[in-house]
Amino acid sequence: MGKISNYLEMIEDIQNRTPQKEAVCTGNSSLTYRELFLLVKEKQKKWKPSAKKQLYFIQKEQALDQLTEFLTCQGMGYVPVILPKDTASDHRDALVQKLSAETKIPEEACMAVMTSGTSGENKLLFRTFESWYNYFSIQNEVFHITSESRLFMQGSLAFTGNMNLYMAQLSAGATILSEDRFDPRLWIKEIKQWRADGIYLIPTKLHALYQALKHEDLAPIEEIETILSGSQSLGKKDALKLKTFFPKAEITLYYGASELSYVTYIRDYEMNEDKTRIGHPFPQVDVKLKEGRLLVNTDFGVIGAGKEASAGDYAHQDEEGYFCFDGRKDDICNINGRKISAVYVEQTILNLGIAAEAAVKPIEKNGREYLAAWVVLKDKRLSLEPQKIRLMLKKSLREEEIPRQIFFLDALPVNESGKVLKRALQTADAQ
């Protein structure tokens, strides 16, 4: 076929060449590339094309349903937006109305993604088809995705990382192994049943998978050749734990943003004890620092990103030249003229070995900033006073880096993609 201009044409091109190849496996069913293409074409027959670009909000909960509706929008005049599952039901209608009324849709837009809203209001970011499609061959080479790949994934396509990798795999004629449920024991069964050769999960889900494998005392799964992860930190110890069950896997952690797509990546053999290390730039992506801000020059960002684009993140380079993530602007605290990274303090708390999760953020009181921490203990039976943790942190942190307040939680609040909702952390019950 001629020039490919949208994602459905991309699927059509693959099904023309390998119609019987499995495109998606989910639950107890699977779809070939021809079946997926014909399913979407049948759905399009029931839709009325729009002469003017308009938003189409996808509110399905299952990833396969999200995928088919997303593809149905292609070439029909609709710009798809997948609403996160954790968007409150009583807020959805109002949010849809507000965004539909206030948003100007760029003519070249193929899709839109909704920002996570971890620190502010939801907004839409628009992408052209080319902004992802033209980079698929490059990222697939970095991630070792080929037409023979069978990558296991879990979660909603409202998470940009999932959506991007779905499309990248489909562009290669690979097979997506998709599970909606958060059930690590089920994942193990499906990874084996579906003959997966790769896994894509964010670090918290990888940890849950490791714990399930450890609990079941299972033998190593040597068929897994690659493990991909992003959105959160991952260090050398985490990688080594995973390799006890996936000894042949190369582990790759990427850093990216909805606004910018892929920015940096790091392999397991490059990781060290500093879990803030996020590696080196992707091919054809230029990264630099300006007063601590991470600036990215890429042709693969959202519409309007421009040169020296920023997602509001801060970083530094270590002695070996690797970029290290310091957090977003809201994660940088100014205490006594010193800029302190909340992300660095979080990792230091985790390195104590007593916390399963930790979140730190700046708090302002009486015109002055200080740090507060929220900690989920590994052993819920353990009774610790905040002062005890502060004493332990004195060995690694300066006085101004030690959180003034420490709170204990059973779990941190997170959104659908697994990112901690720091704006939901409250200090009302001060210790």
Region for residue 191 given its phi and psi (left: phi exceeds 0; alpha: psi -120 to 50; beta: otherwise): alpha
In this structure, what DSSP letter does residue 218 have? Answer: P
pLDDT band of residue 229 (cuts 50, 70, 90) is very high
Q: Tens digits of per-residue pLDDT, 146-170? A: 999 999 999 999 999 999 999 999 9
Distance CA 19, CA 34 (A): 5
Q: Quick one: CATH architecture of 182-328? A: 3-Layer(aba) Sandwich (3.40)
Distance CA 407, CA 411 (A): 11
State CA 5 to chain mean position distance.
Answer: 26
Q: Tens digits of per-residue pLDDT, 17-29? A: 999 999 999 987 8
Distance CA 267, CA 196 (A): 20
pLDDT band of residue 119 (cuts 50, 70, 90) is very low
Mean pLDDT of the chain: 90
Same fold: 7-131 with 182-328: yes
Q: Quick one: CATH architecture of 336-424? A: 2-Layer Sandwich (3.30)
In this structure, what DSSP letter does residue 309 have? Answer: B
Q: Is the pLDDT of residue 429 over 50?
A: no
Domain positions in the chain are: 7-131, 182-328, 336-424
CATH class of 7-131: alpha beta
pTM assigned to the model: 0.87
Joined tokens for residue 64: 């396969």
C-beta of residue 154 within 8 angstroms of C-beta of residue 186:
no
- Predicted local confidence at residue 118, as pLDDT: 45
Q: Tens digits of per-residue pLDDT, 244-295? A: 999 999 999 999 988 999 999 999 999 998 889 999 999 999 999 998 899 9
C-beta of residue 397 within 8 angstroms of C-beta of residue 348:
yes
Joined tokens for residue 168: 């990248």
Average pLDDT over residues 222-251: 94
Q: Who has greater pLDDT, 413 or 366?
A: 413
Dihedral of CA atoms 34, 178, 118, 101 in degrees, nearest 10, equals 30
* CB within 8 Å of 193: residues ≥ 6 apart: none
